[in-house]
Amino acid sequence: MAHSRRYGKFLALSIVSFLIGCFQHSAEAEEVLITATFKPDPSKPHQNRFENTTPPSGYCATYPGECSDNQMFSLQVPIAFNSSTAIPANHTSPRSGAMLKVPAQWRELTIYHESTREPQTVKVRIVGIGSKYVTQDVMQLVVGADDYRIAHNLLWGTSWVNAPAPCFYSGVGAFTNTTYKFFWKTPSQGECAKQAKFDVPWLRFDNLDFAYELETPNPLGMKTGQYVGALTYTVGPGGDFDMGDVMLPSSSALTLNFSLDVQHTLKVDIPPGGNKVELVPEGGWQNWLQNGRKPVRLFRDQTFNISASSRFKMELSCFITGTNNCMIVDLVSGRTAEVQISISLPNGLTDLAGEPVKRKRFYPGPSRAEQFQPAFYVDRAPGVLHFEIDSFYVNSMLQSGRAATYSGTVTVIWDSEV
């Protein structure tokens, strides 16, 4: 098989690398599956996008270097187009010959979480089109050709590597005496047509290759799990994929089935011994023990490391619940004290209003849980739980000549199910 290439400047479209690699076949419609995954990468915390998990097919599988250079990704489906009549030389209507028109404008579809049915919006547009045309021996169709490359060019006036406007050149073409493999970029909506310069008794496009671009939701705002949805394009004269009035398709529809897998991280590491919190005065107990000066407050700042790539909530549970706080108790005297608890989160984690979280109070009970969200993937960043007993309770707790031990249990819950 010979190859044809044209060098020069060309338009390079940026295409998200979601590729289609498997398909099903039916008489009426073709279906393809697009799979992609988001999994946070500690080495790239600000890279919040899905990664394609399907192998390439079609043009980019044959010419991976061309597609890599042009930031293009293709897929192929077994939809053939056969001419219903002969194509006359110098036909006046583009629809009477070899024409390709694709849905190059953005289309929206809704994908749904597999269990919660939470909706998210995906946008798709077709940014490339190609196939392999087949006809009879081109040397028999033209006059003045001494090789097959020239014969193909004479048959249509120009090489099929050179895309007609509004399509753009994308790489290479490959030909034999009866075939020509091509692929064009489609940056805008419009008919990309080739006019036959000699009579073409019959013509077939062997398959349908196309490239597409996706705009996906921000995965940091999506729940863990699978999101699925579908978009169906019509194929044929006047349809979304329109090859003119002569080239008729073997299937009338093309359905893109999407499966986006979100794999979030929520992990909290407490340092050894961090589950036992001792509240002490600032500077220790010396002023109280030696000078009888009661401290203003008792407190402890307990650090932890958090990794988070999605929204989460924090809930406070108390063994003994006071008015708005957890309580500790001296079992001998029965006296109690309330412990105020607040949270400081690292840079990148905010409240739902997008504000930094610094000493934010939170209170016991599921109904008073607080929600937080990442601006980007946070990996093992330090946060602080603040425990404090104010002066009102300190005065009651500390009595000269009376020993007391106050204790209690506080449970802090980090929950990714929000």
Q: Is the domain of 227 the same as that of 251?
A: yes
Instruction: Mention every residue, 6+ apart, whose C-beta is less than 8 A from residue 355.
Output: none
Q: Is the domain of 348 the same as that of 411?
A: yes
Question: In this model, does residue 341 exceed pLDDT 60?
Answer: yes
Output the six-digit token pair for 129: 């089109």
Using 50, 70 and 90 to split pLDDT, how confident is the model at 28? Answer: low
Radius of gyration of the chain (CA): 34
Q: What pLDDT was estimated at residue 345?
A: 97
Using 50, 70 and 90 to split pLDDT, how confident is the model at 290? Answer: confident
Ranking 43-52, 106-115, 310-319, 403-412 by mean pLDDT, the lowest is: 43-52
Mean pLDDT of 308-329: 93
Question: In this model, does residue 382 exceed pLDDT 80?
Answer: yes
Instruction: Mention every residue, 6+ apart, whose C-beta is less than 8 A from residue 413.
Output: 314, 315, 316, 317
Q: Is the domain of 91 the same as that of 22?
A: yes
DSSP string of 349-412? EEETTS-B-SSEE--BSGGG-EEEEESS-EEEEEEEEEEEE-HHHHHHH-BTTB---EE--EEE
Q: Is the domain of 37 the same as that of 135?
A: yes
Q: Is the domain of 344 the same as that of 370?
A: yes
CB 146 within 8 A of CB 226: no
Q: Which domain holds residue 411?
A: 266-415
Q: Which helix (H) or strand (E) holds 287?
A: helix 286-291
Instruction: Mention every residue, 6+ apart, whose C-beta is less than 8 A from residue 246.
Output: 83, 84, 85, 87, 95, 96, 97, 203
Using 50, 70 and 90 to split pLDDT, how confident is the model at 22? Answer: very low
Q: What pLDDT was estimated at residue 5?
A: 40
Cα four-point dihedral sign 347, 350, 353, 354: positive
What percentage of the chain carries pLDDT values higher than 90? 71
Q: Is the domain of 319 the same as that of 392?
A: yes
Ranking 40-49, 91-100, 236-245, 345-354 by mean pLDDT, the lowest is: 40-49
| 215 three-class SS | strand
Q: Is the domain of 175 the same as that of 277?
A: no
* One-letter identity of residue 281: P
Which of 215, 236, 262 represents a domain boundary (last residue)?
262
CB 375 within 8 A of CB 351: no
Using 50, 70 and 90 to split pLDDT, how confident is the model at 8? Answer: very low
Which of 198, 228, 262 represents a domain boundary (last residue)?
262
Which of 262, 285, 301 represents a domain boundary (last residue)?
262
DSSP string of 96-159? GSEEEB---S-EEEEEEETTT--EEEEEEEEEEEEEEEE-S-GGGT-SS-SSHHHHHHHHHSS-
Q: Is the domain of 242 the same as that of 133?
A: yes
Output the six-digit token pair for 210: 């196309």
**DSSP 8-state class, residue 280:** B
Mean pLDDT of 174-200: 95
Question: In this model, does residue 24 exceed pLDDT 60?
Answer: no
CATH of residue 298: 2.60.40
Mean pLDDT for the chain?
88
**Number of domains observed in the structure of the chain:** 2
Instruction: Mention every residue, 6+ apart, whose C-beta is less than 8 A from residue 366.
Output: 315
Q: Is the domain of 178 the same as that of 302?
A: no
- The pTM score is 0.78
What pairing do the DSSP bridges indicate for beta strands 253-262 and 29-38? parallel
Q: Is the domain of 244 the same as that of 271?
A: no
DSSP string of 375-392? SS-EEEEEEEEEEEE-HH
Query: Using one digit for the tens of pLDDT, what is the confidence trace for 109-166?
Result: 999 999 999 999 999 999 999 999 999 999 999 998 889 999 999 999 999 999 999 9
Selected residue with higher pLDDT from 200 and 274: 200
Instruction: Mention every residue, 6+ apart, whose C-beta is less than 8 A from residue 335.
Output: 329, 396, 397, 404, 406
Q: Is the domain of 247 the same as that of 270?
A: no
Q: Is the domain of 155 the same as that of 247?
A: yes
Output the six-digit token pair for 310: 């999605």
Which residue carries 């193909």 as its tokens? 152
Q: Which helix (H) or strand (E) holds 3?
A: strand 2-5
